[in-house]
Structure 1
Amino acid sequence: MDATATVDEPGTDALADLLDGPRARGAFLLRATFTPPWSVLVRDRAPLTLMALTHGEAWLTGSDGAALRLRPGDVAIARGPDAYTVGGDPATPVQAVIHPGQRCTTPDGESLTERMTFGFRAWGNDPDGSTVLLIGTYGLRGAVTGRLLAALPPLLVLPGDAAGAFAAPLAALLDAEIRRDEPGQDVVLDRLLDVVLIAVLRAWFARPGAAPPGWYRAHGDPVVGPALRLLHADPSRPWTVAELAARAGASRAAFARRFAGLVGEPPMAYLTGLRLAQAADLLRETDATLEAVARRVGYGTPFALSTAFKRAHGVSPQEYRTGSVPD
């Protein structure tokens, strides 16, 4: 980044950065159709699943037994790894179980893959069912996403009239595209799923009485917001509190107080978390060397990154990359 750049230049906001890291890549998408009674227990441990109901009625029931109703136009998000049930009625016994890797069985373990698959991205208990649910599952686990997931409840339902002006047409477009089999269709669906998710998250955080995370609220602050965009746009830069304060047009002390008050942690602590989260993504999602990862996220040596990474995650970068320890 040019050292003469100002805080008014375009940058990367926190929400965009969280979704631009481990964004949808080969996401699992399908169009599910059901005729009541139906009930599916989801135990796939996916980090995030988006569901849009276009026809009929559905209920989401969490591990605590609380049930949320979905009507046509509503959009729901399930945050993993906790299990949940989706069905036509909370009282309906579970008929199918979704396991990691999207393997589907009866509660007794009998495979239901062939019985409940009707065609390309088509699934359910009746191909002509009156209930239609569009489902998009993010299969990747990334530490940057962890900041976003921590800001969400295990289950949420956003009513259609609160989902924002773009949610309904986007869901309709997703419904049309999910049934197509064209060249590059997986990429089209990944990007479309990202856009739907962003629209839903913006509407969720903006709803009356919402309690969005500090980093999201701070994005709109005239002093802290530009500093956050600078950090997300170039986390490898050797930022200092003094430089960020100067770029934001505030004194060092005033900037540090304002940043910590809005975001919930000091500027350098936030930057360290951002760097280590991006390092975790690069370790899991790329084959870049540890030296290359360290350089990209602002650490001078692999040893320095390893020391900080193990302090934060409890495991070495190599252990994290190989998945030899649980997430």
Structure 2
Amino acid sequence: MDVLTDAIAAMRTGRPHSKRHVLAAPWGMHFRDYYGAAFHVVLQGSCWLLPPDDAAPIRLGVGDVVFLQHGAPHALVDHPDTPARPFDPAREVPTPSVDSSATVLLCGAYVLDTARPHPLFTAVPPVIHLPAKLGQRDSLRAAVGLLGDELLTPRPGATGVIGAFIDTLLLYILRTWFEEQAQEVPAAGWALALQDPAVSGALDAIHQAPERDWTVADLAASAGLSRAAFASRFSTLVGRPPMSYLAWWRMTTAARLLRESDQPLATVARQVGYGSGIALATAFKREYGVTPGRYRTGLVTAH
């Protein structure tokens, strides 16, 4: 597992979903506050995104992708002056014929725990707009095309395929944004951390083996840097010292294991580098404010 994949997996709390919309002007859809993140893709035609917090409208064309990491209230309209009706996913809307005047959108949402995001997400702006660029972002466009085709003509296995494609689309959106940010001047933070061989290598090592008794010296040696140089570079790009990040990731991994499995606490403790269930329970309560048992019971009750 790499850092970007792990960051998403640690925050995911439910299955993503998406829907294809065919719209004839005038039209407007208002999306309420959502516990997670949302995305929209223009497959045909054009429209306007009315972002959260009354920010300036953004015109979207064919192939444009937008990602809203906080799922804040926003709207899509055929024109900025068109009123937007509340979007109800349970309400069936008559679908017009797909002619040259129709706008075709691919809209979806991810169920993510934004209350405790991976620090990687703190670098992501509230709205990411990735305009279509001829000859660029081929992987992103391919993922969009595959998801759009599957939603247009569902076939056997569609449920699993669509979920996998939506997850893949999220990875491509974030990868594209981070890679392009790393090319900006000046670039810093996680955009550079994912591209920096020393820091990204250390992050991968921590994510692949959180149970290992890592030291700054170990990580520095694997990066081919002195202890001081490595610690300084890691802290600057990641936003916290190596051992602080390791402790945070261990707790985050423990929470995910408690959420997704029924493994005994002692087993979870061994997988995240704690010598006993008691040691993990103490650290977990300090971090989350509840014991691992109450955390797991609360999740069961909530569902």
TM-score, normalised to structure 1's length?
0.79
Higher relative contact order by CA 8 Å / sep ≥ 6: 1 or 2?
1
Q: Which residue of 1 aligns with 2:199?
A: 224
Counterpart amino acid of residue 3 in structure 2: A
1:310 to 273, 285, 291: 285
Alpha-carbon separation, structure 1, partners of 2:300 and 2:9: 26
Superposed displacement of residue 138, structure 1: 1.3
CA-based RMSD of the aligned residues comes to 2.9
* Cα deviation code 1:297-327 (max 9, x no counterpart): 222223322332333333433444314999x
Offset of 1:133 from its aligned partner? 0.8
SS of structure 1 residue aligned to 2:129: strand
> 1: CA distance between counterparts of 2:73 and 2:272?
34
Count of residue pairs brought into register by the alignment = 294
Q: 2:128 aligns with which of 156, 160, 163?
A: 156
| Runs of at least 5 residues in structure 2 that lack an aligned partner in the other structure | none
Q: 1:195 aligns with which of 130, 153, 168?
A: 168
| Superposed counterparts of 1:257-272, under 5 Å | 257-272=232-247
**What is the aligned partner in structure 2 of residue 166 from structure 1?**
139
Q: Deviations over 1:190-240 (max 9, x none)?
A: 222222222222221233548877244123323222212111111121111
**Superposed CA offset, 1:154-195 (max 9, x none):** 222110118612222321221111233333222211222222
- Following the alignment from structure 2 to structure 1, what is the Cα–Cα distance between the partners of residues 150 and 185? 32
Match of 2:92 among 112, 115, 135: 115
* Inter-partner Cα distance in structure 2 for 1:164 and 1:187: 25
Residue matched to 2:48? 59
TM-score w.r.t. the length of structure 2 is: 0.84
* 1:90 aligned partner, one-letter code: P
Q: 2:64 aligns with which of 59, 74, 77?
A: 74
Instruction: Identify the match of residue 111 of structure 2 among 116, 122, 139.
Output: 139
Tell me the residue number matched to 1:50.
39
Q: Which has the higher helix share?
A: 2
Counterpart amino acid of residue 172 in structure 2: A
Q: Note if contact 2:179-2:191 (Cα within 8 Å) is conserved in structure 1.
A: no
Partners of 2:143 and 2:224 lie apart in 1 by 39
Secondary structure of the structure 1 residue equivalent to 2:87:
strand
Describe the SS at the equivalent of 1:197: helix
